[in-house]
Structure formats: structure tokens, C-alpha cells
Structure 1
Amino acid sequence: MKVLLIDDHPLILSALQTVIQGLGDDVTVVGAGSARAARETLKKDGQFDLVLLDLQLGDADGFDVLAEFRQAYPALPVVVVSASDRASDVIRAIDLGAMGFVPKRATNETLFEALHMVMSGGIYVPAMTMGADKPAERPDGDTVPSVLRVVRDNALDSGFQTHPGVDSLGLTPRQSEVLALLLKGQPNKLIARELGLSVETVKDHVAAVLRALNVNSRTQAVLAVSQMSQQQGGFRKAP
């Protein structure tokens, strides 16, 4: 596995390199101290399996870099490693396509758990983000619910936290495939193209998946499945 670490603090970059290297002898870690260095590294070598991205970079906004990389390298998973653990930051990162969010104060074991989950096709959202946080305002005036509110309301309204796992949702094989691609942040058009379906059919499947999870947005679906995955040991893709 080849990992690109992006952090503009040399000490943190060095520490993370050492930690990630501990995942195994087959792990190669490359560090980049800026967004510019990261861009140059990916242009020279497109064989990376994972990117770990800090949100606070000296030469760029981490959220902008996340969106840029997800657009330029859609098959390359990005995990945010940030000093922040605010629910609003977690939700924004997931909205932009991050496959995981790990606060820097997390333990090495938590980081390993997150990376294993992401590399197996899941999405990691740490339990420590599930605290009180004011909702962020969207440009259209709607509020973004906190991770706590999303999960808590689902639990109260539908017994969500008692579900034994994604397999219990009663999804059809096709709906499970749509869910797996939805969790990768793919829009309906790309899902339709990959599965050989019409966009309207994909919309119907997405609506069915959201109903099964008792949520009403893609971000809430990602958060709900992430919590279920952590409880049950990971999201399994449909065969």
C-alpha cells in the first residue's frame, strides 16, 4: 500500500509517517508539506492507494484541496486527519467526498481502525465527533445537522442503533450496489454509467436506500452507515 501524507507541520508529518509505516512492511509512505508539493507528487506518481490530508495547510484551504483531489482522482480515497473534531467539519468533509475523518488527538489504534475500514470499502467517522455542535449554515439558509443530531434522531425515530447491520436493511442486490457507489461520493450520473442504468432508475434506488436508512440526504446516509459499520465491523459490498 502506498500512502501520501499531506501536512505542513514537519513534526506531525514525521510522526504520522512513522505511525503509518507501522501498518506493515508492504506500506510505503510519502510526505508532502504543502498542497503544491502534494499536487506535484500525484502528477509524477499516480500509483497511490490512499491520501491523508490535513485541513490546515499553509498554502491552501484543506477543504478546497479535498474537493480538487476527489475531482481529479475519483478512485483515490482521501482521509482527513485534522486538529478539529467539530461535527460541522466532519459533515463538510464527507459532503466533499472524504472517505474518513480522524481527529489528530485520536489514538494510533483509532487511526489504524479508520484506515483499515476505508481500505476495505467503508467510511470512518469517529465516535468522538458525536458531541454538541452548532449546525453550520448552508448558503441557501438550510442548516446542516450535527453528527449527533443525525444519529440520535434516527435512533429515536426508527430504532436505527438496534439494527444488526446494513444486511438487515432489506436492500436488493442492485440497491446495495447503488449504496456502495453512493458511499464513494459518486453522483447519480456516474452511478448510472457504472451500473448500466438510467439516471431515473438510479434516483429511484437512491430514494429506496435513503428510506431504508431512515435518512433524507446522502450525507446522513454516509454517517448512518459509518456508525453501523463501526458497530458491526465494517460495511460489506454487495457481491
Structure 2
Amino acid sequence: MKVLLVDGFPMVRAALTGLIEQHFGGAQVQGVDTVDAARQSLAQALPRLVLLDLRVPGGFELMEEIHQTHLLLPVVVISGSDDTDDALRALSSGAMGYVPERSDLDTLVQALHLVLAGGTYVPPLKPRVDETAAAAPASPTPDWGALPLTPRQKHVLHLLTQGLSNKLIARELGVSVDTVKDHVAAVLKALGVASRTQAVVVATQRVQRGA
């Protein structure tokens, strides 16, 4: 398995390379520190996975290019931020995983396994703070039952927040993948989002803040 690692810090590249080679047998990690070098590597041969630090100049543009040109190539963002807006922007731009640097090594390994299996990894994120309501008492976390979803759609939403792919959700529920797609479409419409990754972020946010 070839992994392309795009990070501007040599010590980080070395640490992540060692971690991946230790936990993923046969993995070959190519570490680069610029977007241009990453593009050259992608032009030569596609990896199985891309790890990207968005602090590399042009990182967001590279991620969007990968999403548009190589739709099935998963990108996992390694970020110094656990802000919800940053995660939502990355996921909306095509990332299949968002791992804050504060995460422990086991979490990173689990996130990579999940993404390689076709899932989406989103960590616990800081809730948005509305300046006009910052001084107001915190409202209790709502019951998922308050959402305008059927019981089956709520179950699908729960499985989405766990990062499961449509295939794994279908296996969990004992239904066809096409049925899962219909349920996912209904969940996206109810939450007012355009993608399953946005739904994961919104759902996580509502659990933390309230619907």
C-alpha cells in the first residue's frame, strides 16, 4: 500500500512514516513537503491514501484537485485545529477524515483504518459559539427524537456519525445499498446539508450543542 504524506515538517513526516509502517504491513510512505512535489507524485502513480497537512501552502487547493480528479482517492487531513468550521470546510472540500494533531496515536490509526474501509472519520469538535448568545445559559442537549426523521433514518444517521460506508450500513441494517442511499438522502434533506460528511459534522454539533 502506497501512502502519500504531504507535510512541511521533517520531524512530523518521520514520525507519521514510522507509525504507518508499524501499523500497516507493507505500507510504503512517500513524504513530500510541497504541493508541487505532491502533484508530481500523483502524476507518476496514485497512492492508496493521502495524508495532508493543510498548513502546507496550497493544501486546500490540492485537496480539491484530488477530489475532482481522483474521486475515489481518500484524503485524510492532519490538522492543528479542532474547530467545527475548519473541519466542515475540509470535509466539504473532499476530505474523508479529519484528525486534529491533539489526537493520540491509537485514534489516528483507527481513523486511517476506517477511511481505508470506505468510512468517514470526524473527531469530537468544538461547538460553534454565537457571540450574541455566549453569555446565555447553555441549553440541554436535545433528544434525537426531536429531529424530523423516521426511526430507521435516525438509525442511519447514528451509523453515519460512526463513519460507516453505505455498504457497511446496509450490512448492519440487513437492507440493500440502494435502500441505504434513499435513507441517507432523506437524512441530508432533513438536516439541510448537501453531503454525508456535512451530515456527520452537523449531527456531531447538535449532540454537543443542541438541535
TM-score by length of 2: 0.72
The one-letter code sitting in structure 1 at the alignment partner of 2:192 is N
Partners in 1 of 2:78 and 2:52 — Cα distance?
6
**Residue of structure 1 in register with 2:21 after alignment:** 21
Q: CA deviation at 1:73?
A: 1.6
| Cα-Cα RMSD | 3.1
**Residue of structure 2 in register with 1:98 after alignment:** 95
71 and 224 in structure 1: CA distance in 2 versus 1, 3 angstrom threshold: closer
CA contact (8 A) 2:114 2:120 kept: yes
Spell out structure 1 runs of 4+ moving beyond 6 A: 168-171
* Number of residue equivalences: 177
Greater Cα shift, 88-97 or 19-28: 19-28
1:174 to 178, 194, 198: 178
Map of 1:194-205 to 2, 5 A cutoff? 205=182
Partners in 1 of 2:83 and 2:185 — Cα distance?
25
Runs of at least 5 residues in structure 2 that lack an aligned partner in the other structure: 131-140, 160-168, 204-211
CA contact (8 A) 2:88 2:201 kept: no
**Residue of structure 2 in register with 1:54 after alignment:** 53
CA contact (8 A) 1:169 1:212 kept: no
Query: Does 2:161 align with 1:157?
Result: no
Secondary structure of 1:3's aligned partner: strand
TM-score by length of 1: 0.64
Secondary structure of 1:115's aligned partner: helix
Partners in 2 of 1:36 and 1:76 — Cα distance?
18
Partners in 1 of 2:142 and 2:185 — Cα distance?
15
Partners in 2 of 1:18 and 1:2 — Cα distance?
14
Partners in 2 of 1:64 and 1:156 — Cα distance?
39
CA contact (8 A) 1:3 1:29 kept: yes
**Residue of structure 2 in register with 1:148 after alignment:** none
The Cα offsets for residues 80-111 of structure 1, whole Å up to 9 and x where unpaired, read as: 01111111011011111110000111111000
Q: Which has the higher contact order (CA 8 A, sep 6+)?
A: 2
2:197 to 222, 236, 239: 222
CA contact (8 A) 1:100 1:125 kept: yes
227 and 111 in structure 1: CA distance in 2 versus 1, 3 angstrom threshold: farther
Partners in 2 of 1:62 and 1:112 — Cα distance?
22
Runs of at least 5 residues in structure 1 that lack an aligned partner in the other structure: 136-151, 180-204, 229-239
**Residue of structure 2 in register with 1:233 after alignment:** none
